[in-house]
Structure 1
Amino acid sequence: MITLLFVVKGFETMEFSAFVDVMGWARNDYGYNVPVVTCGFQKEVTSTFNIPVLVDKTIDEINVDEYDALAIPGGFEEFGFYEEAYDERFLNLIREFDKQGKIIAAICVAALPVGKSGVLAGRKATTYHLRDAYRQKQLKEFDVDVVNEPIVVDKNIITSYCPETAPGVAFKLLEKLTSTEKMEIVKQAMGF
């Protein structure tokens, strides 16, 4: 059950690390087969607040058939998040994951490229809800039924509304990849 953890320029490290840590605990401490492969447009991706991260693969090396889930941390516009998040190659990757019915887990504003790809049209989702909910208004422009809740699941797509929800989204992804029981074991072990 391999997760492709895709980071674009300006991603939030806190949202990235939730996927790495939850799946890492599941693999390391409990032997659950939930590897994570990191990916970006380049081998080195600079996060929000200018932390460089080396990824395993670049987008050109990805074959969607080899993965079971796509995880996407959100990020900051000021650090260039939407420059890559709205790149047509990334939107096509999202479309392909959805077309194959694979899980897509997006934290905070990562719901916006998912919405822009068209796969959320007519479906329920959420995104960043503070500061006059301007990001939720943007998501609504993609014909999304915006729900102001911390985490929203519509079939294979998980969205959330702020960085606080990062662990919850990672646990929800783990649950979908394994089982409720296995997720609860890891969640408890991590003190949640």
Structure 2
Amino acid sequence: MKKTLLLLANGFEAVEASVFTDVLGWNKWEGDGSTEVVTVGMWPQLQCTWNFSVTPEMLLEDIDLDDFDALAIPGGFEEAGFYKDAFSEKFQQVIQYFNDRKKPIAAICVASLMIAHSGVLKNRRATTYNHPTSKRLKQLEQYDVEVVNERIVVDDNIITSSNPGTGFDVAFKLLETLTSSDNTNRVKELMGFE
């Protein structure tokens, strides 16, 4: 079984987290059966961007990172306090751990800023929220990242994306990385994407 750690910061966007639970969950029951997702946060209760409360399955302090094969990170809103957890030393250490072991890291929207803050995107290609009114691409560039203004950017083991609308694509890319193209296409078809 390939376990994915779904790392949830206070202020995360629920829809960006749900694509990972749904795609990898569909694979567990309808695909090749090889994936499992575990929701993890620093607090016993988390508040999503739009006032949705979530109870993570495990607390960060209670897990063994060696038990996981991949890391998935939804983005969130600054106004909802997302960056307080996202830029915390504990979250940064998780990202560094997965990167040091070349395990897949999949990030949606501004979650790439969280990865960049850890230092692992220095001199690597990535993207983040790219709406013309946003300054997030410039913020990403300040971490010495080679900013690519595309929907999804893959650099070795790290997948980053440009907005919440890319969520399913990122989750399917992670599934393909963990399993195979054929299996991913089957899950897509079963979910109505093909």
Percent identity between the aligned chains?
Answer: 49
Code of the aligned partner of 1:180: S
- Residue 143 of structure 2 is aligned to residue 142 of structure 1: yes
Structure 2 Cα separation of the partners of residues 41 and 88 of structure 1: 11
Structure 1 partner of 2:169:
168
The residue that corresponds to 1:40 in the other structure is 41
- CA deviation string 1:130-174 (max 9, x = no partner): 143410110111110010000100000000000000000000000
Deviation by residue 1:109-150 (Cα, 9 ceiling, x = unmatched): 000010000000000000000143410110111110010000
Residue matched to 2:159: 158
- The reply on whether 1:102 has 2:103 as its aligned counterpart is yes
Q: How does 1:1-192 map to 2 (within 5 A)?
A: 1-192=2-193
Flag structure 2 segments of 5+ consecutive residues without an equivalent.
none
Q: Secondary structure at the match of 1:121?
A: coil
- Specify the SS of the correspondent of 2:110: helix
Q: How many pairs were matched up?
A: 192
- Read off the aligned partner of 2:159 and give its amino acid letter: I
Q: Secondary structure at the match of 1:39?
A: strand
* Stretches of 4+ aligned residues off by more than 2 angstroms: none
Q: How far does residue 31 in structure 1 lie from its aligned partner after superposition?
A: 4.1
- The one-letter code matched in structure 2 to 1:156 is N
Could you list the per-position Cα deviations for residues 31-58 of structure 1 after superposition, in whole angstroms to 9, with x for gaps in the alignment?
4210000000112111011101111111
One-letter amino acid of the counterpart of residue 177, structure 1: L
Please give the secondary structure, in 2, of the residue aligned with 1:108. coil
SS in 2 for 1:184: helix
1:38-85 Cα distance to aligned partner (Å, 9 max, x none): 000112111011101111111111222110000000001110000110
Secondary structure of the corresponding residue to residue 35 of structure 2:
coil
**RMSD across aligned positions (CA):** 0.9
Greater shift in the superposed pair: 157-166 or 127-136: 127-136
